[in-house]
Amino acid sequence: MKEKYEISISLRYLFGRKKYGLMRIIAFLSVGGVVIGVMTLIIVLSVMRGFEKDITEKILSANAHLILFRGGDFYDYNEAVEELKKIKGITGINPFIVSQAMISSETNSSGAVIYGVYPENARSVLKINNYLFKGNFLSPSTDVCEIIIGKELSDSLAVDVGDEVYLISPTGKLTPFGMVPKAKRARVVGIFRIGMYDYDSSFVFMHINHARDFFGMKEGISGIQVAVKNPMKVDGVVWEIEKRLGFPYYVRTWKDLNRNLFSALKLERIVFFLMLILIILVAAFGIAVNQLMTSMEKSRDIAILMSMGAKRKDVVKIFLYHGIIIGIIGVIIGTVLALTICFLLAKYKFISLPGDVYYISKLPVDVHLIDVLLTNLSAFGICVLASIYPSIKVSKISPAEVLRYE
């Protein structure tokens, strides 16, 4: 019952009558600062999480979960493949060749990264088939050299499904007249669109036998692509592979190959969190100013309360509840607005990004409960801390001094 009157007085001081208009304005500005800080922080963290999630999905769509390499020539790989088949958690194995070449059409030419794969194995390792924009995936037949290319590359070359292009090797053949580039004619049978500009503008997939012939690699391979059941827990599979195969084999996971990218995203998320917390700190100063002004305006009322038996700790509670109420209102409104905006961004995707600048073309959103809770606790904690000093300061007034001239 006692605490109810303290909360009631705190609410009256916070949302007082019209004659205390300036304090009401400061109170509303303090609440607004908390709302803006919480809302912005949740939205930014959710967008950053969305970037990370979307980029991860796209990376795993065009790349294997891990790749097995061998120091030196990688020719006799059947033994390694058999050992990989024995490891629990591996869902797909695909020996592959990768190299760079020039791809040319009648109207244009461009550099490309050529992947030679076994079509029947690539389906279980890569997810390119799920992102086909036009046409079909590679067929197991090697009668005709078939390729699938990215949407950006097809637009650059002005080619469509069924058109023929020329692949030009950077090495070529040595002849009495010098080095002659080696060219191979190929037919486009499929166009994929992953959504990452780097992949859609440069990746080309073809049958490994045609790749061997084009690059002159005979029976060799570049490595073995491996898919696992849970790509987020790939380290356990890596440990098992290294235990079974050992030197000279070594493994690179999708995390290793993109470590710099994900480290940068994590650092950006931390920096944004610290920067946006400053908005809430500004609101905290407003809370402190509001309480100090309220204490000066209401000093007579406080003195009367204390002369009627209210203790100093009761006065501290009145003004502490002042900051707590601002924090609760600001956090609730800010969170509701942030979740609403995140929902609209996720559903309608009305913000587009230039694909040649960013890794993705749509602004992604991924709301994490831990980000929401961390933001709410941080904002609420700052509001409470901002109220402590003014509350203690107010409780130290002397009723006799205040009421002497009343």
CA dihedral 254, 258, 264, 267 (to 10 degrees): 20
In this predicted model, what pLDDT tens digit does every residue of 268-312 receive, in sequence order? 888 888 887 887 888 778 777 777 776 666 666 667 666 676 677
Q: Is 127 helix (H, G, I), strand (E, B) or coil?
A: coil
Considering only CA atoms, which of 58, 71, 61 is closest in space to residue 252?
71
Considering only CA atoms, which of 124, 141, 143, 107 is closest in space to residue 64?
124
In this predicted model, what pLDDT tens digit does every residue of 370-394 receive, in sequence order? 989 998 998 898 888 888 887 777 6
Classify the C-alpha dihedral 285-286-288-293 as positive or negative: positive
CA dihedral 129, 134, 136, 137 (to 10 degrees): -40
Give the DSSP H/E element, type plus range, for residue 287.
Answer: helix 259-297
Cα–Cα distance for residue pair 104/112, rounded to 1 Å = 10
Buried (b) or exposed (e) across 22-35, using 16+ Cβ within 10 A? ebbebbebbbebbb
Query: How high is the pLDDT of residue 403?
Result: 57
Tell me which residues of the chain have a pLDDT lower than 50. 1
Query: How high is the pLDDT of residue 401?
Result: 59
Cβ-contact 211, 68 below 8 angstroms: no
AA identity, residue 139: S
Over its C-alpha atoms, the chain yields an Rg (Å, rounded) of 33
Cis check: omega of the bond before 95, within 30 degrees of 0: no
Which whole-number Å values give the CA distances from 369 to 277, 293, 297, 322, 374, in the listed order?
Answer: 18, 37, 41, 27, 8
Q: Please name the residue ranges forming H helices in 1-100.
A: 2-14, 21-62, 78-85
The number of angstroms, rounded, from the C-alpha of 385 to the middle of its chain's C-alpha atoms is: 32
Q: What percent of the chain has pLDDT over 90?
A: 19
The number of angstroms, rounded, from the C-alpha of 144 to the middle of its chain's C-alpha atoms is: 41
Cβ-contact 73, 256 below 8 angstroms: no
Which whole-number Å values give the CA distances from 36 to 219, 274, 279, 321, 386, in the listed order?
Answer: 62, 15, 8, 21, 17
The HSE-up count of residue 100 (CA atoms within 13 Å, CB side) is 4
Q: Is 113 helix (H, G, I), strand (E, B) or coil?
A: strand
List the beta strands (DSSP E) in 177-272: 178-180, 183-192, 203-207, 223-228, 249-253
Task: State the DSSP code for 63.
Answer: S
Neighbours of 356 (CB within 10 A): 10
